[in-house]
Structure 1
Amino acid sequence: MSSTEFLSATTALFLLRGLATTLLIAVCTIVLSFLIGAILGVSKFSGKGLAAKISSIYIDIARNLPLILMIIAFRFTLPLPTIASSITALTFLNCALVAEIIRSGMASIPKGQWEAAYSQGFSYTGTLIHVVIPQAVKRIRKPLVGQFVTILKDTSLCAVVAVHELMYSGQIIMGKYVKSSYIIALYALIAVVYFCINSLLLYVSKKVVKEIV
């Protein structure tokens, strides 16, 4: 295949479609992981009742399983479309990681803050909402944003189950070439795209968190 075909609009459009799928998987996983992770993290932090035990067991199991194994297992065991099963697998792991980030952030708040809140008449729930969580958010924002960037990069692993995300789209295009220079150029292009998207995500996330905090 010639260099003209390599740089054609068809190739660019094919990669853009893959990028769109990558962003879809990443956004869905980030939202679901944050929502579920927040519930798991608060439950584990409370250390009380059945919910805390279940959350702790789930987090321990999910954190010790390889992501690529979960992607493959979920693809062939769940009656879901390929993209949906990939989102489920990514969320299964990342909600546990997000939960641990949130739990550790809450645990870092000094006991004196709890005692001061109780002395002012706050209940346990009120102390969480008005005292602990606002301070914890400031402490977890960097690791949380870092985890979101990791999620975006991990979408490339979905290529193992033939999800047409950016990396898999690149692999399909690479199959048409024999020149190593074209393959290296394509890998370099994909790397640049990931770098740009991740840099943008970091920038936007930091701005949003600063506004919230």
Structure 2
Amino acid sequence: MSLAQEAAQVFTATNIRFLFQGLGLTIFIAFISIVLSTIFGTFLAVMRNGKNPFFKLIASVYIEVVRNVPNLLWIFVIFLIFQVKSVPAGIISFTVFTTAALAEIIRGGLNGVPEGQTEAGKSQGFTDRQILTSIVLPQAIRKMLPAIISQFVTVIKDTSFLYSVIALQELFGNSQILMGQYFQAGQVFMLYGFVAAIYFVINFVISQFARRLQKSWANSLE
């Protein structure tokens, strides 16, 4: 069988549509997870930076425990122990894990705002909450948003774990299902190569956007 014939068998309209259906689920899970993780991560970052020792302890324990346990284990825990359905289990497990990572990114952004900004807010009679929401957070967003966007890349790549753990048919999972139809080395190579190219293009575009955003904001401050 020629290479052209193998390609014609692999790259059918049905197969491509099936792969992009999986891609849609991949992006959906990654997007929802990163949005929720940013919200929860912000709360944890504020708690860990705060003065209340109880809240600070809770945030610290959560961040350190979750960050130092593989995400695969959280997927198992959510899906098998709590018996959550596949898609919600994927979203919850990635939110649990990514929240801890983003909390540290956000905390770094908050700590990167000069202390003088807080003192200036206090001198104007602002409350701690007003200082955080009106002065610190707007400046911190510029520092941490590119890193948050970059974290989106990690989440997209790591969704490939979901098929092997909970049989969720995202992009990589659908490629595995299609792989059962082909036995020629060339067909396997082309299918995996196509899936790898999809991951690369999406993640490269996101990474470039994060770099351009960071560079643009850096230039605006000069």
Length-normalised TM-score, structure 2:
0.87
Which of 7, 26, 29 is 2:11 aligned to?
7
Which of 131, 134, 138 is 1:134 aligned to?
138
2:172 paired residue number: 167
Q: CA deviation at 1:201?
A: 3.3
2:36 paired residue number: 32
Amino acid at match of 2:202: I
d(CA) in 1 for partners of 2:51 and 2:172? Answer: 41
d(CA) in 2 for partners of 1:207 and 1:32? Answer: 24
Amino acid at match of 2:87: I
Amino acid at match of 2:190: A
Q: CA RMSD in A?
A: 2.2
For residues 43-98 of structure 1, the C-alpha deviation after alignment (integer angstroms, 9 at most, x for no partner) is 11114142222111111111001011211222111232111111111111001111
Q: CA deviation at 1:206?
A: 7.0
1:85 paired residue number: 89
Q: CA deviation at 1:102?
A: 0.6
Residues 37, 99 of structure 1: 8 Å contact kept: yes
**Structure 2 alignment gaps of length 5 or more:** none
Q: Relative to structure 1, is the Cα distance of residues 204 and 143 closer, same or farther in structure 2, using a 3 angstrom cutoff? A: closer
* SS state at 2:159 partner: helix
**Structure 1 alignment gaps of length 5 or more:** none
For residues 161-194 of structure 1, the C-alpha deviation after alignment (integer angstroms, 9 at most, x for no partner) is 2110000111111122221111111111111111
d(CA) in 2 for partners of 1:138 and 1:148? Answer: 17
Residues 47, 53 of structure 1: 8 Å contact kept: no
2:182 paired residue number: 177
1:18 paired residue number: 22
Q: Relative to structure 1, is the Cα distance of residues 205 and 143 closer, same or farther in structure 2, using a 3 angstrom cutoff? A: closer
d(CA) in 1 for partners of 2:138 and 2:211? Answer: 16
**1:67-146 alignment, distance < 5 Å:** 67-146=71-150
d(CA) in 2 for partners of 1:207 and 1:38? Answer: 24
Q: Does 1:150 find its partner at 2:159? A: no
d(CA) in 1 for partners of 2:84 and 2:186? Answer: 38
2:68 paired residue number: 64
d(CA) in 2 for partners of 1:166 and 1:47? Answer: 44
d(CA) in 2 for partners of 1:70 and 1:53? Answer: 21
d(CA) in 1 for partners of 2:12 and 2:140? Answer: 49
Length-normalised TM-score, structure 1:
0.90
Amino acid at match of 1:181: G
d(CA) in 2 for partners of 1:190 and 1:18? Answer: 11
d(CA) in 2 for partners of 1:77 and 1:33? Answer: 22
Q: CA deviation at 1:147?
A: 0.8
Q: Relative to structure 1, is the Cα distance of residues 184 and 47 closer, same or farther in structure 2, using a 3 angstrom cutoff? A: farther
